[in-house]
Amino acid sequence: MSSRHLAKGSRAPPSAKGKLRLYSNRFCPCAQRVHLVLDIKKISYDVVYINLSSIPDWFSSIGKVPALETETGDILTESLIIADYLDEKYPQHKLHSNDPLQKAKDRLLLERFNKVIHTMYKVLLTSARSFTDEPEETISEGLEMFENELNNRSGSYFGGSKPGMLDYMIWPWCERADILKLFGNQYALKKDEFKKLMEWRGFMLLDEAVQNNFLDADTHIRYVQSYRCGIPDYDQILAH
């Protein structure tokens, strides 16, 4: 298991045939999705961290994270596809609803959340000064949609009495939400406006898989600042 992010010029890690291997990056929220699924299901796996600013030659045929190498050597990419595969392949701690209609509704919510994700990263990784009111409105409307959805669900989570697939798939961006206030108070989460979401966030922070993969706001802020300077520091947590 590598600890530093492997970059161009590095050697390919030894084969992990017969064991799952996840090619990941500590600051990639989509990769975090897969870590959460693997950890909540307590699946044994190897992890290799990839420097996305200097992709190793031996990894160029895959080219992006997350990528899951199965026990048979097959490669799967795209976080939602990998998460679905793991939920079917490893039925312990089932994350998707057994109701096909509810599963479809949750996937539609995820699709709508993609617009919030895109806008959030536009704020975080580019110059916020050039923005109009559109990002604030898009993020606020998206959060309001999920606030209303939580109010209509039975239980503290989107999955009901415990976190389900939808909870884990949106969590990585909710973990990073506190960074938004760096770019103006209008982006800070309003506790009185999103009461259910804030309660949900508190419950999610107690989850074992979330705790295993959690990075605090200061760590995310240092990464964002390094990225905006053109030198993303993927290995910063090894020095702290």
6 SS3 class: strand
Q: How many CA atoms lie within 13 A of 43 on its CB side?
A: 28
> For residues 60 and 11, what is the distance between their CA atoms, to the nearest angstrom?
13
Q: How many CB atoms lie within 10 A of CB 190?
A: 13
| Catalytic-labelled residue, pool 28, 30, 174, 229 | 28
Written as one string, the DSSP assignment of 72-91 is TS-EEESHHHHHHHHHHH--
Residue 28: active-site member: yes
Which H helix or E strand runs over 217? helix 217-228
Q: State phi, psi for 232 to the nearest 5 degrees.
A: -55, 125
> For residues 19 and 56, what is the distance between their CA atoms, to the nearest angstrom?
22
State the sign of the Cα–Cα–Cα–Cα dihedral 159, 165, 170, 174: positive
Residue 30 Cα distances to 58, 81, 160, angstroms? 22, 11, 23
Q: How many CB atoms lie within 10 A of CB 106?
A: 21
Catalytic annotation, residues: 28
